[in-house]
A and B are shown apart, each in its own frame.
Chain A
Amino acid sequence: MDKTSTILPLEGSGLSVVRDGRVLLDVDHVKLGKQGVTCILGHNGAGKSLLLKVLSGLVKPDLGLVRWNGASIERADYKKFGYMKQNAVLLRRSAKANLEFPLLSFGWSKQDASTKADAALEKAGLTHITHSSARVLSGGERQRLSLARMLIVSPQIAILDEPTASLDPESTAAIEQTIKSLSGTGVPVILVTHNLNQARRLADNIIFLHQGKILSQQSSLSFFNNPECEEAKKFISE
């Protein structure tokens, strides 16, 4: 895939994941890639993270097809794909080396990767931890570093799985600000969150999942004012 080609939209059809006889995911059709922030909401165990992992090619569904821009993801190219997990998985290296790593693995020169990593650290307000081991950082710093690592490849889509869970208000605000800025540049952002207030603040669209099924796909305004299903109404009122 060359630099100009797109991986969007991410599409899944007839997706099913079953473990120990229990249906964890049962989705007829889903399409991600619309501009703005799309929040995925649902109770614990609704299948939010699993859906994103399946659409990202990290988990293979038992049934169904996942396509990126209409193409199979058997040999997916992650060069322009951004994915941030709830618990940042950082390498046992310095903060800067963690930012350089994806660039180097995608074929950047050491010099260019170093320059880009320095710029990313500065943008994220993390220059003070440039040479610190990524594993000694605070929770907020880890998440910000993880976010910077996701953004450093200039992704065409950014998937964030509960990026602010267990963070203090200041770190949460910093990450929300980055999400807004990113969305403002036209990059579709997919955000899994448990925080309804956060969803209200950030979301343009909502996908609501319940027991592995997508029960509603609405604009944020319409979801919070007039949810399409009883489960969503109940979820909002809890």
Chain B
Amino acid sequence: MQELSNTFWDAFGLLLRFDADLYEIIGLSLKVSFTALIFACLIGIPLGALLASTPFRGRAVINVLVNTLMGMPPVVVGLILYLILSANGPLGVLQLLYTPTAMILAQAVLVTPIVAALSRQALEEMNEEYTEQFKLFGLGKTEILKTLIWEARYALLTAILAGLGRAMAEVGAVLIVGGNIDHLTRVMTTTIALETSRGNLAIALGLGIVLIGISLIINASLYAMRYTAKASRYG
């Protein structure tokens, strides 16, 4: 019990002393996850809107694919990307393996289906409500997608934040394609795994506290936004 308590105090000490290494890791984690999230949203939200609003050949197949990818084990995604990005792989010439770019790619691949599926779910119901009205407004397909996305903005934030949570918690794929290289590709989750195995529990716990803090902030923001949207009936 005493040891646990000491570890906690050491972890807080590291955070409060603004340990440079620790904050470098936190900074890289946020950079990788937010960049991946931006790419995931740029692809996932329009894809979700398209799946929700436009009947086309092969839509069912894409729906099944998106749902399947949502549950894809991160290590498998990491392995596939490793094969693609390694020196002998199709994209080996880009020399992206063991770089933050590879980690962004891995997280984007994992998060895009989540954002797409949750967006589709949010937009499907709204599309049903608005279909006739959109026709009466004379909207074309692109305008319908744009309007739907704007109308569902609060619901889509849930999808975006769920994606961010998934990206921040990711360890398997980024470990494989990033390599957990000190001062280059070391992020919070991979550091926690490494330092725990080394017995440096204070660093691991310090980062764990930061991760929980971020998760708390994400969920509190989500709750506040949903509450505001509900109160003003914009959501």
**In the complex, are the beta carbons of B132 and A91 less than 8 A apart?**
no
- Contact pattern, B 84-123, Cβ under 8 Å of A = 1, otherwise 0: 0000000000000000000000000000000000000000
Q: DSSP class of A's interface residues: helix, strand, loop or mixed?
A: mixed
**In the complex, are the beta carbons of B233 and A92 less than 8 A apart?**
yes
Instruction: List the B side residues contacting A93 at CB < 8 Å.
Output: 234
Interface of chain B residues 186 through 235 with chain A (CB within 8 A): 232-235
- Contact pattern, A 40-60, Cβ under 8 Å of B = 1, otherwise 0: 000000000000010011100
B137 is an interface residue with CB less than 8 A from chain A:
yes
Interface of chain A residues 58 through 101 with chain B (CB within 8 A): 58, 77-79, 81, 83, 85, 89, 91-93, 101
**In the complex, are the beta carbons of B132 and A92 less than 8 A apart?**
no
Instruction: List the A side residues contacting B143 at CB < 8 Å.
Output: 105
Known interface pairs A92-B151, A105-B143. Does A78 touch B135 (Cβ–Cβ under 8 Å)? yes
Instruction: List the B side residues contacting A133 at CB < 8 Å.
Output: 232-234
A-B contact count (CB 8 A): 45
**In the complex, are the beta carbons of B133 and A89 less than 8 A apart?**
yes
A18 is an interface residue with CB less than 8 A from chain B:
no
Instruction: List the A side residues contacting B135 at CB < 8 Å.
Output: 57-58, 78
B136 is an interface residue with CB less than 8 A from chain A:
yes
Instruction: List the B side residues contacting A9 at CB < 8 Å.
Output: none
- Contact pattern, B 142-155, Cβ under 8 Å of A = 1, otherwise 0: 01000100010000
Bound form: Cα–Cα A93–B147 in Å: 11
Bound form: Cα–Cα A101–B130 in Å: 13
Instruction: List the A side residues contacting B64 at CB < 8 Å.
Output: none
B138 is an interface residue with CB less than 8 A from chain A:
yes
Instruction: List the A side residues contacting B235 at CB < 8 Å.
Output: 92
A108 is an interface residue with CB less than 8 A from chain B:
no
**In the complex, are the beta carbons of A91 and B151 less than 8 A apart?**
yes
**In the complex, are the beta carbons of B129 and A89 less than 8 A apart?**
yes
Known interface pairs A89-B130, A89-B132, A92-B151. Does A101 touch B137 (Cβ–Cβ under 8 Å)? yes
B72 is an interface residue with CB less than 8 A from chain A:
no
**In the complex, are the beta carbons of A102 and B132 less than 8 A apart?**
no
Bound form: Cα–Cα A85–B143 in Å: 22
A136 is an interface residue with CB less than 8 A from chain B:
yes
Instruction: List the A side residues contacting B129 at CB < 8 Å.
Output: 89
**In the complex, are the beta carbons of A105 and B138 less than 8 A apart?**
yes
Closest chain-A Cβ to B169's Cβ sits at a distance in Å of 31
Closest chain A residue to B232, Cβ basis: A133
Closest chain-A Cβ to B186's Cβ sits at a distance in Å of 43
Most chain A CB within a 10 A radius of its CB, from B129, B136, B232: B136
B139 is an interface residue with CB less than 8 A from chain A:
yes
Instruction: List the A side residues contacting B138 at CB < 8 Å.
Output: 77-79, 105-106
The 9 lowest CB-CB distance pairs between A and B, nearest first, are: A135-B233, A78-B138, A89-B133, A105-B137, A136-B233, A92-B234, A58-B132, A133-B233, A133-B232
